[in-house]
């Protein structure tokens, strides 16, 4: 993908979450969270592998009971990505998770509140060199902070600052911070405020964003605005959906902003309109399914008509446009083959795989002689069928020109 924009990145400290750097000049990482019972080691590992295969760099697992902490001891060494233990209420479970070997903890300051317990966890993490995310959540603020500030950016940031203070008192600074809210506007303002007062790396997310598609939109609204301002070192979509969707969304957002190198297929498709000669949605969906596993960063286009399609998608590596019951296959805008409508998806998949394996030049060298002329004839016939002046444009323009302009006539 061509890098069109660069966003000046806020300078933050760098911490290491296992083998993944967060902050500083490290690539912005994608996180998600398992939905299995952590105590079920095999189910949890299976989900972690799916998340990793879909672009997730760091995975969080709940550590809500002693059995979960013990399971983490088995999960950590077999996981392909670093594991964060999510701790609520029980500081002993944070200590147990550290003993299990997790690469990071997440503590919610709103529900582990005794300073001596927070410091005990921070000291143990300090001694082991394990970072902690201070995970403030607008919906579970410390009651005295909520009473004073309400669920406001100031309240969220005060909660983070208080926790930072406890950590720094015991010499612990392997910190990353989140100030999530379910309202993207509140979340954006909270992170902006936080970014002004600390240089610890920030973990972005809109919490409890909900099911698709609303959850995707809310999360993207919050996360993308901040990333474009250079704020954010790691991100998580919190969707009420299979967590694989979170990983895919996070990865796609970073790739679409040019913040991570594209690793997989980018399918572009026209939105369809009255000109479409095929069911664009069906063809694009079938192509997406067929190419989903193609982990090669190529751009594939599905365009509903040949009148505008190939031109508008000429930068795509490979694409197809429909015309007169046939598909015009093109590679970087050059027609390489014309196929019957029924073969459009299979031909597109074949050529996409060819481009992915052999490259653009090799694909162009396999172009059918005469395909370009065939396609040009189809296109011309379509334009003819619609008529060069089906709208009687010349007559209309003549009328427009000859008509008195009412305002001018009056004055
Ligand atoms: S490519 Fe053709 S069918 Fe698709 S939106 Fe554009 S004009 Fe309409």
pLDDT digits (tens, 9 = 90+) for 33-78: 999 999 999 999 999 999 999 999 999 999 999 999 999 999 999 9
CA distances from 144 to 80, 136, 149, 161 (A): 41, 14, 9, 14
Question: Residue 79: is it exposed, middle or buried by C-beta count within 10 angstroms (0-12/13-18/19+)?
Answer: buried
Percentage of the chain modeled with pLDDT above 70 = 95
Check residue 177 and report its DSSP letter. Answer: E
Range from 166-170, 261-265, 321-325 that averages highest in pLDDT: 166-170
**Cα 298 to ligand 1 centroid, rounded to whole Å:** 22
Tokens coding 165: 């203070």
pLDDT at 410 over 50: no
CA distances from 246 to 9, 165, 235, 252, 300 (A): 23, 32, 10, 10, 23
Bridge-based pairing state of the strands 29-33 and 234-236: parallel
pLDDT at 411 over 50: no
For residues 124 and 70, membership in a common domain is answered with: yes
**pLDDT value for 409:** 44
Cis amide bond preceding 405, omega within 30: no
For residues 277 and 250, membership in a common domain is answered with: no
Collapsing DSSP states into helix, strand and coil, what is residue 7? coil
Domain boundary among 211, 236, 256: 256
Collapsing DSSP states into helix, strand and coil, what is residue 410? helix
Kindly state if the Cβ of 305 falls inside 6 Å of ligand 1. Answer: yes
Determine the atom of ligand 1 nearest the C-alpha atom of 303: 1
Tell me the CATH number at 67: 3.20.20.20
pLDDT at 392 over 70: no
For residues 158 and 64, membership in a common domain is answered with: yes
User: What is the Rg, in whole angstroms, of the alpha carbon atoms belonging to the chain?
Assistant: 27
For residues 114 and 229, membership in a common domain is answered with: yes
- Compute the C-alpha angle 81/87/92, nearest 5°: 115
- 219 close to 181: Cβ distance less than 8 angstroms: no
- 38 close to 83: Cβ distance less than 8 angstroms: no
pLDDT at 387 over 70: no
Domain presence at residue 206: yes
Phi and psi at 168, nearest 5°, equal: -65, -30
- Compute the C-alpha angle 92/96/101, nearest 5°: 150
For residues 73 and 146, membership in a common domain is answered with: yes
Tell me the CATH number at 350: 3.30.413.10
Selected residue with higher pLDDT from 377 and 44: 44
Q: State mean pLDDT over 270-288.
A: 89
Domain presence at residue 404: no
**pLDDT value for 276:** 87
pLDDT at 380 over 90: no
Collapsing DSSP states into helix, strand and coil, what is residue 211? coil
Whole-number Å distance between alpha carbons of 278 and 272 = 9
Collapsing DSSP states into helix, strand and coil, what is residue 274? coil
Determine the atom of ligand 1 nearest the C-alpha atom of 312: 1
Tokens coding 186: 């509140």
Domain presence at residue 3: no
**Cα 327 to ligand 1 centroid, rounded to whole Å:** 14
Confidence bin at 405 (pLDDT 50/70/90)? low
For residues 313 and 365, membership in a common domain is answered with: yes
Range of the domain at 355: 266-386
Domain presence at residue 7: no
Domain count, the chain: 2
Confidence bin at 399 (pLDDT 50/70/90)? confident
Tokens coding 56: 């997730």
pLDDT digits (tens, 9 = 90+) for 150-173: 999 999 999 999 999 999 999 999
Confidence bin at 384 (pLDDT 50/70/90)? confident
Kindly state if the Cβ of 276 falls inside 6 Å of ligand 1. Answer: yes
pLDDT at 213 over 80: yes
For residues 304 and 242, membership in a common domain is answered with: no
Domain presence at residue 393: no
Percentage of the chain modeled with pLDDT above 90 = 77
- Please tell me the chain's helix, strand, coil percentages from 3-state DSSP, rounded to the nearest 5: 45, 20, 35
Determine the atom of ligand 1 nearest the C-alpha atom of 306: 2
Determine the atom of ligand 1 nearest the C-alpha atom of 313: 1
**Cα 271 to ligand 1 centroid, rounded to whole Å:** 7
Probe residue for ligand 1, chosen from 308, 316, 328 as the CB with the greatest number of ligand atoms within 8 Å: 308
For residues 204 and 98, membership in a common domain is answered with: yes
**pLDDT value for 278:** 87
pLDDT at 5 over 50: yes
Q: State mean pLDDT over 353-358.
A: 93
Cis amide bond preceding 213, omega within 30: yes
| pTM score, whole prediction | 0.85
pLDDT digits (tens, 9 = 90+) for 286-304: 998 888 877 788 999 999 9
Kindly state if the Cβ of 350 falls inside 6 Å of ligand 1. Answer: no
For residues 108 and 242, membership in a common domain is answered with: yes
Domain presence at residue 395: no
**pLDDT value for 293:** 75
Tokens 């406001």 -> residue? 152
Whole-number Å distance between alpha carbons of 299 and 278 = 20
**pLDDT value for 43:** 98
Strand partners, 266: 299
Domain boundary among 256, 275, 295: 256
Kindly state if the Cβ of 281 falls inside 6 Å of ligand 1. Answer: no
For residues 232 and 307, membership in a common domain is answered with: no
pLDDT at 403 over 50: yes
For residues 340 and 241, membership in a common domain is answered with: no
Kindly state if the Cβ of 52 falls inside 6 Å of ligand 1. Answer: no
Q: What is the dihedral of CA 123, 128, 129, 134, to 10 degrees?
A: -50
Kindly state if the Cβ of 269 falls inside 6 Å of ligand 1. Answer: no
Work out whether the CA dihedral 289, 290, 296, 301 comes out positive or negative.
Answer: negative
Domain boundary among 217, 236, 256: 256
**pLDDT value for 1:** 45
Domain presence at residue 107: yes
pLDDT at 335 over 90: yes
Kindly state if the Cβ of 272 falls inside 6 Å of ligand 1. Answer: yes
Probe residue for ligand 1, chosen from 270, 277, 314, 382 as the CB with the greatest number of ligand atoms within 8 Å: 270
**pLDDT value for 319:** 95
Probe residue for ligand 1, chosen from 307, 310, 321, 382 as the CB with the greatest number of ligand atoms within 8 Å: 307
For residues 211 and 278, membership in a common domain is answered with: no
**Cα 269 to ligand 1 centroid, rounded to whole Å:** 9
């Amino acid at each position: 993908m061509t890098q069109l924009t660069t966003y000046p990145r806020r300078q933050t400290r760098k911490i290491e979450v296992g083998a993944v750097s967060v902050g500083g000049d490290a690539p912005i990482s994608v996180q998600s969270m398992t939905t299995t019972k952590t105590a079920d080691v095999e189910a949890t590992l299976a989900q972690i592998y799916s998340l990793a295969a879909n672009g997730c760099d760091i995975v969080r697992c709940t550590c809500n009971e002693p059995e979960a902490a013990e399971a983490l001891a088995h999960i950590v060494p077999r996981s392909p990505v670093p594991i964060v233990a999510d701790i609520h209420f029980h500081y002993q479970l944070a200590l147990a998770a550290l003993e299990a070997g997790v690469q990071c903890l997440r503590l919610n300051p709103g529900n582990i509140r005794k300073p001596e317990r927070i410091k005990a966890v921070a000291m143990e993490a300090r001694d082991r060199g394990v970072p902690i995310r201070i995970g403030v959540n607008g919906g579970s603020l410390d009651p005295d902070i909520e009473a004073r500030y309400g669920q406001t950016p100031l309240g969220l940031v005060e909660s983070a600052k208080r926790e930072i203070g406890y950590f720094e008192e015991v010499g612990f600074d392997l910190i990353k911070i989140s100030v999530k809210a379910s309202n993207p506007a509140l979340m954006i303002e909270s992170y902006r405020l936080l970014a002004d007062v600390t240089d610890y790396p920030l973990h972005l997310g809109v919490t409890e964003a909900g099911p698709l598609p609303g959850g995707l939109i809310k999360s993207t609204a919050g996360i993308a605005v901040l990333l474009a301002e250079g704020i954010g070192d790691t991100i998580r979509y919190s969707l009420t959906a299979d967590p694989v969707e979170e990983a895919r969304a996070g990865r796609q957002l970073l790739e679409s902003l040019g913040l991570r190198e594209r690793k997989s297929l980018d399918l572009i498709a026209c939105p369809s309109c009255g000109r479409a000669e095929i069911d664009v949605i069906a063809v694009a969906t079938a192509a997406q399914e067929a190419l989903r596993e193609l982990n090669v960063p190529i751009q594939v286009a599905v365009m509903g008509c040949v009148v505008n399609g190939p031109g508008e998608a000429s930068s795509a590596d490979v694409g197809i446009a429909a015309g007169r019951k046939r598909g015009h296959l093109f590679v970087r805008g050059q027609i390489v083959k014309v196929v019957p409508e029924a073969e459009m998806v299979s031909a597109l998949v074949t050529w996409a795989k060819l481009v992915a394996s052999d490259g653009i030049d090799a694909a162009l060298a396999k172009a059918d002689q005469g395909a370009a002329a065939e396609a040009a004839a189809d296109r011309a016939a379509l334009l003819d069928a619609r008529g060069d002046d089906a709208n009687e444009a010349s007559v209309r323009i003549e009328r427009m020109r000859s008509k008195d302009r009412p305002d001018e006539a009056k004055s």
